[in-house]
A = this chain, B = another copy of it.
Amino acid sequence: MAITAREILLKSRPEGMPRAENFELVTVELDSPGPGEVLVRNEWMSVDPYMRGRMYDRPSYVPPFELGKALQGGAVGRVVESGDERFAPGDLVESMFGWREAYIAPAPMLTKLPDVGAPPQAFLGVLGMPGMTAYTGFHRIGAPKEGDVVFVSGAGGAVGSSVCQIAKIRGCTVIASAGSDEKLEWLKSVGVDEVVNYKKTPDLLKAVQAAAPKGVDIYFDNVGGDHLEVALEVARPFARFIECGMIAIYNDAEPKPGPRNMAYVVGKRIKMQGFIVFDFIDMKEQFFADMSQWVREGRIKWQETVEIGVENAPKAFLQLFSGGNAGKMLVKLD
């Protein structure tokens, strides 16, 4: 069998905010998979903020995307043809071969997905990398105790909205910041205690102080920038700062100054720790057991924002930085 598939290449490295011309849509021909290989047609692909970092040509925890090659990212698809006994046509598989409609890959690079009663794209969200990022960072770095006050920035996104709900399950008070009233209303509907629309408030510090008058024990940072400075200000002694992302500064061509109140790290004895999900891979089973149960019980909900067609993947990606997505940003591939 030979099929054609479209995929998105990185054409040039963006400076500052990425633009449409940094990407290129091409069509490739795929033959039958060889021995040990599998041909997969993707049904869903993920776009995530961390991908911006891989577009820079600089050393990081993952190598940069290569120019002229298809981008990578989480994807869920069905096996079409298999040259490996572990996979059969129709199997639902997860891979890092996103940004393409179909692909051939060595079998060890695929993960067969179990049926837990959730739709396939949940494995790119609450049951996938964003959910595991939320779960592992919150527990391992945040060390939450019942009654802790938790402040979550970027709370409307896939990671942030999971953190908010996990924190509620753990008996915490949750203050969420996001950039649209729609996102914040949804967050309140799933139990978040206080919300702040950072785009509307004239004074982020005052707004967060009003929402968390007793201060904050745990800050889950998806944003960096001003939010980090505010979090340092409202932090209680021995606060834990879970440094998951700094989307506010990913696209800065010139680095902006950091928080003016870093001295609080000493005075308040704050622990601030960066991580990526792979650092806590030892928690994967525990994560999946808890989250799939919470999903079944309806205690973890999620929103999706969906673009249709691989040609719209760059558009979906760019929405992450304008805050256009509510919940998990996905591309459905037909």
Contacts and interface: CB of A to CB of B under 8 A. Distances in A.
Contacts of A272: 265, 270-273
Contact of A262 (B246, B263, B266): B246
B258 A262 contact: yes
Contact of A263 (B224, B260, B266): B224
Interface on chain A toward B: helix, strand, loop, or mixed SS? loop
A244 interface: yes
Nearest to A269: B274
Report the interface size class on chain A: 35 or more
Contact of A265 (B53, B260, B261, B274): B274
A272 B275 CA distance: 12
Residue from A246, A263, A269 whose CB has the most chain B CB atoms within 10 Å: A263
Interface string A226-244: 0011000000010000011
Residue from A228, A245, A255, A279 whose CB has the most chain B CB atoms within 10 Å: A255
Interface of A: 53, 60-61, 224, 228-229, 237, 243-246, 249-250, 255-276, 279
13 contacts: A60-B267, A61-B237, A61-B267, A224-B262, A224-B263, A224-B266, A245-B266, A265-B274, A266-B275, A267-B274, A269-B274, A270-B274, A271-B271
